[in-house]
Structure 1
Amino acid sequence: MSTMRRETIPRAPAPESPTSADEQTLYEPSSDESDEYGTEEDDHDLLESEDERERLLTGSKGKGKAVAGLFNRKDGKETGTYSDEQKTKAKRRRNRAKRRGQSSEESTLMYEMEEGISLSSDSLVSSSDGDEKRLEGMNIQSKTQKRRVWRRVLIYLSVIGLFLILLFAAYRVSKSRHTASAATLVSNGTSLFAPTTILISLDGFRADFLYRGLTPTLNKFIEEGISPKYMLPSFPSVTFPNHYTMATGLYPEAHGVVGNTFWDPDIQKEFYYTDPTRSLQASWWGGEPLWQTAERQNVRVAVHMWPGSEVHNPDIQPAYVDKYNGSEVLSRKVERIMSWLDLPGPEDMGFNMDQPRPQLIAAYVPNVDGDGHKYGPNSTEIRQTIKDADTMLGGILEGLQMRNLTDIVNVVVVSDHGMATTDTSRLIQLEDLVDPTEIEHIDGWPHYGLRPKKASDVERLHKQIIDKTQNMTNVEVYLRDKDMPERYHFSQNERIAPLWIIPKAGWAIVDKSSGNVEEMKKKGEVYHPRGVHGYDHEHPLMRAIFVARGPAFPHKPNSRVEPFQNIHLYNIICDSISVSPAPNNGTLRLPLKPVGLHTDSNTPANETPSDPPLSSSTPLPSPSASTSASPTQSTPAAATQSGEAHHMSWWQALAHKAQHMEEWVDQFLKTHMPGAKGKDKGEAEGEENGKEESG
């Protein structure tokens, strides 16, 4: 009889004394689990004593009813059955294992081994099926968790990738902008300059002033740059509307400054150009001027006395604004412009945000207009004023050359209108055309915009004036809303009076408070001002100038373009400093398109227009007086003044002859005795302060 070998199963460590934190977590159920399944201590009640353990292993009977042994051997095989209580406990352990995240088969077997559960073939099959299901579930759960992890990883990587792409794109854009900006910077040897333009306006500088042999600097500037034979002003050809048209690219009817003086029926106020309390209110000025366009795009601007620049805009202001000073000497203007160019730029050492170097400098020069009004455009005095303006330009160009900026800074020289000589014989009495007591407001000058006290009287007064001027060739009469010439672009604004009397060039309308025309003629009184503008903007005497040179004008020297109107200047200046213009009436853009050179054989001859005849009964000047002349041949003063001699006293005629002789002597000395300086009657007055301001 073979001796049955007793197998000894190692005692599992008691759950009450876990050896590690992990084991403690493994064996300690939650309160919910304890309530549902019982505690670990309950699970081990059958193992409380060695005898009980032995009984379970051998299948021996104890105090109670017999219990089948778990590991009894029969024919070398282990036999046994689960008790209901054991099955329940095993199921609880498996459930707890799942709830606690146990995923290995070893954990389940360990619990079964602790209880000494026999592994019969049936139970093994059942256990295997359960294990397979558990493993399948665990695999699914593992795959789901992995998918979640990978999904999170992909989301994080996508976010990081997108961030890097945006960061790289921003870097490229920033780099490209910096590169583009750097590409436009040009060094003069000591500093870097962004696109920079100096815009000079010579108020009242008539186009044919260039042909009088008085402007060597301007004539050389034309030879080096690009220009038309003339530039047309806008109607009405007076200072404030035209300077603001050049600054905005808008017709006066569009920007709202329709004259030097006018009435606004909406606000019941009058605009008067020399009265800052009435003219510097922002509500008068529409459109967007150059200084606002540039500053809005972070291009700094300096404005020296340009009409309209002193209007305060709380949102956008130029970096520098100089108030109007009609007595400022021209040399001071040169110093002011050069001082701005000498400031450090953003890329230079010592740059100061509070004192930036401007890229646009717009300067206004009133001298030629002032002396043109005072003495007339063909006077001896105006000759010196023209020379002074030319000398001032020479100072600017010399300053640029000294700073090695000739090929770096653009220079554009313009004027706003021309000038016509007036005379007492070319006066029209207002009272001969209309009763002033019927008129509430008179706008403009020398053109007259009439606002009747009663709006219903407009048609009647229009017919009355037409009847009284039907035999006169020296005035035009228009209704704003009916027959105002379209080329004037002077009807689409309520600030434009409904009824207009527009004299021809050289003529003027006066009321009796200013003078009795018949009495003035009888007494031989001289009418002042001696020069007037404001007429038809296409008349030859109203022609202005445009000359440009610099990197924004890469044309052959002495290039010629077709004449254009000053509404196009705004776009040209914007393009020269690389800013985008606001909407405007101009269409011309850089680069300009030359039609040839000024020296070409098909270039129109220099034209020096003559003044109108002294009166309607005076014969027209001889053809020789009005034909074109070269700069060395033009003597417009002599031609025009000879016509006036018929109405002068012998003393006046002698005085004029003396002036002409002086001019001849001066020219003779300069031609035949280099270095000699003739005595010009106007030289002593050229630098005097307090020049008369006029529109």
Structure 2
Amino acid sequence: MKINNREYPKQKKTIIGICMDGTSYPYYEKAKDVMPNLQRFIKEGSMGLVKSVIPSFTNPNNMAITTGVPPKVNGICGNFYWDTELQEEVMMNDPKYLKVPTILSELSHNGRKVAVVTAKDKLRKMLAHNLDGICFSAEFADQATLEENGIENVESDLMGKERPGIYDPYISVYCIEAGAKLLQRDHYDVMYLTTTDFVQHKYAPGSEGANDFLAKIDHWLGELDKLGAIVGVTADHGMEAKTNADGSPKVQFIEKLLNEQGIKTRVILPITDPYVVHHGALGGYGTLYLDDKSQLEAAKTYLLSLDGIEKVLTNVEAVEAFELPSDRIGDLVVLSDAATTIGRTPEWHDLDKVKEGLRSHGSEHCQVVPMIFNKKLNDTYAEKLASGTCRNFDLFHFLSNGF
């Protein structure tokens, strides 16, 4: 069937899309000795590098993956944005911000049995929108009900254990394990499993913390494979260290700096979400709303003079470059280099949780992510993946057409 102008024919086997939040390829490369199942997928199945959407944040990419289209089409371009009608900053986790249906919801109303498990509850409302199936978060697995989530007694009946806390590395393992346990007890046509990036924010590729976590993920990837599913693993974004030589966060507080230049502006940081321990609302992408539009060129010139600020695009330029919705990104879009984050003012951020070893994402430097399948793609889709032009939001198109 056609969804958002792309074809998604029914498969004989279960198809499972997995978004490994914040996991760029170096994590897998440096954990290859403890990830035998994923290494087998790479060797015997298919792998390529693809680009995520910009901003390289969680909400825009998960909703791109589950709609099969970029933010310009689906409307989701951040975790937070400035609502010009309400004149306030709002969290973009309400389904009302979606401009198109998800692949998951459309399939669920057309004869496919669908299950979705997310680590973070912030994604659940949009992923569950109009979905006739199971959709729950590991974060609030204890609160799942038949009416709200399509499932109850997750901890006692499905998992046999309590969920970890949202800042426990193993909440993502719990998410993938839940997918395997659902499939062990019942057939599903389509599944989507999406993790959280607490580990990647805190641990570099190859570190003991990262490898221990990925080894446990690998076990459940192997279980999904044993159950006969076609499994596709991608990511919403990568992750980079964002620190000065002394380990402190490297930040340009652009709202403060612009105001000091006499350029009154409101800076919106779309990385902002409830999980401040991860990143302190510091990332590589920001949007600006200028009080005086005649100062646009002055603002652009000044921002580009700052160390670590790599690109400053007008609304029109950003829409063209990154397929963003023009009504939700302000007057200027700012992207940092690989080692720098963008802030508002020092007072606005709670920097206590990220005062050492900040790792974050948002710019083009976190855009390249892996796409790995446990089966060999057919020639047409193998060629597409090898071309280097594919996107992470092609995941379900590949799962539905590539085998």
Is the Cα–Cα contact under 8 Å of residues 254 and 493 in structure 1 kept in the other structure?
no
CA offsets per residue over residues 10-62 of structure 1, 9 Å max, x none? xxxxxxxxxxxxxxxxxxxxxxxxxxxxxxxxxxxxxxxxxxxxxxxxxxxxx
**1:221-236 maps to which residues of 2 (within 5 A)?**
221-228=41-48, 230-236=49-55
Residue 289 of structure 1 deviates from its aligned partner by: 1.0
Q: Report the counterpart of residue 60 of structure 2 in structure 1.
A: 241
Deviates further, 252-261 or 460-469: 460-469
Matched, 1:310 2:129: no
Matched, 1:549 2:382: no
Counterpart Cα distance in 1 of 2:29 and 2:127: 40
Matched, 1:321 2:135: yes
Gaps of 5+ in 1: 1-183, 186-193, 274-278, 345-356, 577-589, 593-695
Counterpart Cα distance in 2 of 1:338 and 1:312: 19
Residue 296 (structure 1) aligned to one of 109, 118, 132: 109
Q: Report the counterpart of residue 253 of structure 2 in structure 1.
A: 429
Is the Cα–Cα contact under 8 Å of residues 413 and 548 in structure 1 kept in the other structure?
yes
Provide the secondary structure at the position in 2 that maps to 1:477: strand
Is the Cα–Cα contact under 8 Å of residues 22 and 238 in structure 2 kept in the other structure?
yes
Structure-2-length-normalised TM-score: 0.73
Counterpart Cα distance in 1 of 2:194 and 2:138: 9
Is the Cα–Cα contact under 8 Å of residues 372 and 530 in structure 1 kept in the other structure?
no
Matched, 1:439 2:253: no
Q: Which amino acid aligns with 1:319?
A: G
Is the Cα–Cα contact under 8 Å of residues 233 and 242 in structure 1 kept in the other structure?
yes
Residue 480 (structure 1) aligned to one of 315, 340, 345: 315
CA distance 1:379–1:438, shift in 2 (3 Å):
farther
Q: Report the counterpart of residue 40 of structure 2 in structure 1.
A: 220
**1:36-185 maps to which residues of 2 (within 5 A)?**
none
Matched, 1:206 2:41: no
CA offsets per residue over residues 425-480 of structure 1, 9 Å max, x none? 5432325630189334524242221123x3xx133154144136337464322211
Q: Report the counterpart of residue 285 of structure 1 in structure 2.
A: 98
Counterpart Cα distance in 2 of 1:263 and 1:432: 18
Is the Cα–Cα contact under 8 Å of residues 246 and 569 in structure 1 kept in the other structure?
yes
Provide the secondary structure at the position in 2 that maps to 1:501: strand
Residue 301 of structure 1 deviates from its aligned partner by: 0.3
Is the Cα–Cα contact under 8 Å of residues 254 and 342 in structure 2 kept in the other structure?
yes
Matched, 1:489 2:323: yes
Q: Which has the larger radius of gyration?
A: 1
Structure-1-length-normalised TM-score: 0.44
Q: Which amino acid aligns with 1:439?
A: T
Counterpart Cα distance in 1 of 2:350 and 2:97: 35
Is the Cα–Cα contact under 8 Å of residues 308 and 339 in structure 2 kept in the other structure?
no
Counterpart Cα distance in 2 of 1:313 and 1:379: 35
Counterpart Cα distance in 2 of 1:532 and 1:562: 28
Residue 341 of structure 1 deviates from its aligned partner by: 2.6
Matched, 1:251 2:66: no
How many residues are matched?
Answer: 340
The CA RMSD over aligned residues, in Å, is 3.4
Q: Report the counterpart of residue 364 of structure 1 in structure 2.
A: 194
Residue 485 of structure 1 deviates from its aligned partner by: 7.1
**1:337-416 maps to which residues of 2 (within 5 A)?**
337-343=179-185, 357-366=187-196, 369-377=197-205, 379-398=207-226, 400=227, 405=228, 409-416=229-236
Provide the secondary structure at the position in 2 that maps to 1:304: strand
Residue 450 (structure 1) aligned to one of 282, 285, 288: 288
Q: Which amino acid aligns with 1:442?
A: I
Gaps of 5+ in 2: 1-9, 140-165, 272-282
Is the Cα–Cα contact under 8 Å of residues 319 and 326 in structure 2 kept in the other structure?
no
Matched, 1:591 2:402: yes
| Percent identity between the two aligned chains | 20
Q: Whose strand proportion is higher, 1 or 2?
A: 2
Provide the secondary structure at the position in 2 that maps to 1:395: helix
CA distance 1:542–1:312, shift in 2 (3 Å):
closer
CA distance 1:377–1:264, shift in 2 (3 Å):
farther
Residue 346 (structure 2) aligned to one of 493, 512, 530: 512
Is the Cα–Cα contact under 8 Å of residues 443 and 497 in structure 1 kept in the other structure?
no
Provide the secondary structure at the position in 1 that maps to 2:16: strand
Is the Cα–Cα contact under 8 Å of residues 377 and 420 in structure 1 kept in the other structure?
no
Structure 1 stretches of at least 4 aligned residues deviating more than 6 Å after TM superposition:
none
Q: Which amino acid aligns with 1:251?
A: P
